[in-house]
Amino acid sequence: MRPLLYLLAALAVMGLAFWAYRENYRTQAQIDRMQVVQREIASLRENLGVLRAEWAYLNRPDRLSQLVDMNFDRLRLAPVQANQFGSARNIDYPPPEPVAPPTELTPGESMAGWVPRTPSNNRGAPLPRPAPPGFEPPADSAPEQE
């Protein structure tokens, strides 16, 4: 009986050694793959930095203004003027939804707590604010016709 236990123990030790050997090599392979991926990420980050630098170089304001001047006849680009923007008064907001008082009251409930919906507490889109005193909107200039 004792030799059988020794044999089983030796087989178990050999099996565990084989398993540990395989796991060690699998772990090393995963570490190698992880290092390859990390090198690839570092390379991509470096390339991204180069691309961002090139983008910043190509988008310099003096270079873009020279390009606009060279291609003005084809593109007809002009600087943005303040009168090209609209004001908040030009926005059409939907009217607030009317709210009817509750029609059915449960026992013990009164109308004392009911507050009608007003522009300050409505649930719809916000209403435009009135202009401050002394505010004059800019005069709208019509675009030139060709």
Range of the domain at 51: 2-68
Structural domain includes residue 56: yes
Residue 42 lies in a domain: yes
Work out the average pLDDT over 106-116: 60
- Structural domains in the chain (count): 1
Report yes or no on whether pTM surpasses 0.85: no
Where helices occur in 1-146 by DSSP H, the ranges are 2-58, 61-70, 72-75
pLDDT at 140: 58
Cα Rg of the chain (Å, integer): 38
Alpha-carbon distance of 121 to 119, in angstroms, equals 6
pLDDT digits (tens, 9 = 90+) for 13-39: 999 999 999 999 999 999 999 999 999
* Residue at 138 is within a domain: no
Q: Indicate the pLDDT class of residue 93, thresholds 50, 70 and 90.
A: confident
Nearest to 122 by CA among 92, 99, 146, 93: 99
Domain presence at residue 50:
yes
Asked if the structure places residue 38 within a domain, the reply is yes
Q: What are phi and psi of 130, to 5 degrees?
A: -70, 150
How many other C-beta atoms can be found within 10 angstroms of the C-beta atom of residue 77?
A: 13
